Amino acid sequence: MSLPTLAVWKFASCDGCQLTLLDCEDELLALAGRVRIASFTEASSEVLPGPYDVSLVEGSITTPADERRIREVREQSRVLVTIGACATSGGIQALRNFGDVAEFAASVYASPEFISTLGTSTPISAHVPVDFELRGCPIDRHQLLETLGAFLAGRKPDLPDTSVCTECKRRGLTCVTVADGTPCLGPVTHAGCGALCPAHNRGCFGCFGPMAKPNTAALLPILRTCGMDEAAVGRVFATFNAAAPDFAAVSRERRS
């Protein structure tokens, strides 16, 4: 019996989410017995021809070549899963969406005329249909394994769609905002990290992006009570998921 094929693709990204897959170690060995890894250039230069049963896509679309290549990847993939903040919201490189990319290129490169880039960094879902999105910067390895296992078993991944606060409470952590007045984006951020930062006495930085229907308006007065001025509020929403619409709306208001 032939094994289902898995392919991993990189667009504009730092490779951190692909490293999460490599970091699965023991589970990766078990996975290797259930799938044929057909393309994963982070681990091997061998690339087998498609079509592929499951494609994991890391990174955002930032060049005309990316726009063409993601359509080819989609055509070759039965299931396409985007992994990480870059692929699901445009990533930190989407800060370019709020400025002039030609001006940035001129200030960074000695010969900007050789740079072929788009004026925006956009998520994969803005270009092709996506079957499932895994959030985070980087993604969580347990969520990745659940997602791969689910698609290989022909079922939907069983992952939470709530906020980081729910994970925080399930772990019995003390709220850093209530206890210490530390600003925290947990109430509006998508669950998945297991409340990693609050577990280390730090506020959530929102690296999993906005949860479904986040009530950012209710959080803003709390952030101000914690000592954040308007500029700081704008900055905290303009990081890993700067172009995610619910976070971009908050930072844009404070930029204008």
Binding site for ligand SF4 (CB under 6 A): 13-14, 16-17, 58, 84-86, 91, 137-138, 164-165, 168, 173, 175-177, 184, 186-187, 195, 198, 204
Q: How far is the CB of 166 from ligand SF4 (least distance, A)?
A: 8
CB nearer to ligand SF4: give 16 or 50.
16
Minimum CB separation from ligand SF4 for residue 256, in Å? 27
Q: How far is the CB of 16 from ligand SF4 (least distance, A)?
A: 3
Q: Record the tokens describing residue 2, joined without a space.
A: 């032939």
Return the number of the residue (54 or 94) whose C-beta is nearest ligand SF4: 94
Q: For ligand SF4, give the closer residue by CB, 38 or 124.
A: 124
- Which residue's CB is nearer to ligand SF4, number 69 or number 78? 69
Q: How far is the CB of 7 from ligand SF4 (least distance, A)?
A: 17
